[in-house]
Amino acid sequence: MSDLFAPHEPPEIASARPLADRLRPRTLAEVTGQEHLTGPDGVLTRMIASGSLGSMIFWGPPGTGKTTVARLLSGEAGLAFEQISAIFSGVADLKKVFESARARRMSGRQTLLFVDEIHRFNRAQQDSFLPVMEDGTVILVGATTENPSFELNAALLSRARVLTFKPHDEASLEELLKRAEAAEGKPLPLDDEARASLIRMADGDGRAVLTLAEEVWRAARREEIFDSAGLQEIVQRRAPVYDKGQDGHYNLISALHKSVRGSDPDAALYYLCRMFDAGEDPLYIGRRLVRMAVEDIGLADPQALAICNAAKDAYDYLGSPEGELALAEACVYLATAPKSNAVYTAYKAAMRAAKENGSLLPPKHILNAPTKLMKGEGYGDGYRYDHDEPDAFSGQDYFPEKMGRKTFYDPPERGFEREIRKRLEWWNKLRRDRNS
């Protein structure tokens, strides 16, 4: 398959380019893995057919075809194509591109401006696109691997449609491998299991699967077929796509937290290991496990918090890799513990009450009276010392008088909180009996 973007290269130069570059699609119809955008009924296909191409943000992981699709759009819509990268460009570069686009527009041709890594532009730089988008000087196509809702300003998003590029699924990556085999004129020297393993290693990245295939062809001796173990040796495995400051990080910690909350220790361990494997700071995971203990287990199992803190201390003491096992133990303990968010719910309700009711004075009978003036004001009058009362319980009301008694904490019939509920019900009965 020839390359749309370098059609006049001599054969010896073209063949030296990376396989992923040589196999770039020549039309939108040849793009694989993004049928919701480029298929017969895809959004972009419809835009081209209607002649109503507008500014867009392409959001998706690496290797899903964002740059290629932008180039193909410009070709199929008859637009001039300009490309810049937010990593290497500044205000001066933007001004030059805008001036060229204005001159081109005066001669009757519109410009598609493709901005790679657009989220790396600061807010002021993002604002500079607004006038040229509004007056039609450029059709902006920005590409980002980060969530546009967080990384792009509202003014830019209001003028551009966000289109999501999906990671390649197994079928799409298999199709890319078949295209590569057709282009190379030979099959990949992998057995079935190794081929499936290579597809998993690509992690949804089309460029990666072709790069891995190229490495296999380079390494293979005549008539050699690699199994999974041999494949691992050749490619030295590809690091998972994971940015500790961005979406991959938050997606996996969310999956870990929800697996623990859902009492699924196997899924919890899987996501824990995904994060370890990607190089996440184990102490960050330890802190998150502590959060899960207080938010999702609470007093249903008071030992959960102690075990998580102990796991953190064990990691501090042992270091890596032995210390990770302590965190794994805490993770499994949390996933298999009885669950309760009753304290968490009570805390939020009490905080709302504290904010809504202002600076109400506690009832005077529970206020200390260290001075004569305070005694004269009635501070401490009528206070009953609980240890001197039957059952060590006075049943007095401790809420501000203007607020009235409230119930925030409602423990469920699970774990240790079943016992706590019995205690509260008993105290409530005593309170009713003594105040009736």
Q: What is the pLDDT of residues 323-348, one digit of tens each?
A: 999 999 999 999 999 999 999 999 99
Q: Check whether 435 has a pLDDT greater than 60.
A: yes
Q: Is the pLDDT of residue 365 over 70?
A: yes
Confidence label for 1 from pLDDT (cuts 50, 70 and 90): very low
- Distance separating alpha carbons of residues 245 and 253, to the nearest angstrom: 12
Confidence (pLDDT) at 355:
87
Q: What DSSP line would sit under 25-79, residue for residue?
A: -SSGGG--S-HHHHSTT-HHHHHHHHT----EEEE--TTSSHHHHHHHHHHHHT-
Identify the pLDDT of residue 3.
41
> Are the C-beta atoms of 381 and 363 separated by less than 8 Å?
no
| pLDDT value of residue 5 | 45
Confidence of residue 228 (pLDDT cuts 50, 70, 90): confident
Q: How many CB atoms lie within 10 A of CB 408?
A: 15
Mean pLDDT over 122-134 rounds to: 91
| CB 234 within 8 Å of CB 219 | yes
**What was the pLDDT predicted at 238?**
55
Question: How far is 18 from 310, CA to CA, in rounded Å?
Answer: 50
Query: How far, in Å, CA of 172 to CA of 358, rounded?
Result: 60
pLDDT > 70: percent of the chain: 93
pLDDT of residue 9: 57
Q: Is the pLDDT of residue 370 over 90?
A: no
| Angle, CA 341 vertex, CA 335 and CA 347 arms, to 5° | 145
**What's the pTM?**
0.62
* Token code pair at residue 372: 């004569």
- Residue 361 to residue 88: CA distance in whole angstroms: 61
Map 171-200 to HEC letters. HHHHHHHHHHHHHHCCCCCECHHHHHHHHH
Structure confidence at residue 311 as a pLDDT band (50, 70, 90): very high
Q: What is the pLDDT of residue 247?
A: 61
Residues facing residue 58 across a β-bridge: 143, 163
Choose among 110, 118, 68, 61: nearest CA to 89.
118
Q: Which domains does the chain have, with CATH numbers?
A: 31-164 (3.40.50.300), 170-235 (1.10.8), 247-336 (1.20.272.10), 355-435 (1.10.3710)
Average of pLDDT values for 415-432?
93
Predicted confidence at residue 81, as pLDDT, reads 94
Task: Tally helices (H) and strands (E) across the chain.
Answer: 22, 5
Give the pLDDT of residue 4. 44
35-90 pLDDT, tens per residue?
A: 999 999 999 999 999 888 899 999 998 889 999 999 999 999 999 999 999 988 88
Contact 343, 299 (CB under 8 A): yes
Q: Measured between alpha carbons, how far is 355 from 342 in angstroms, rounded to an integer?
A: 20
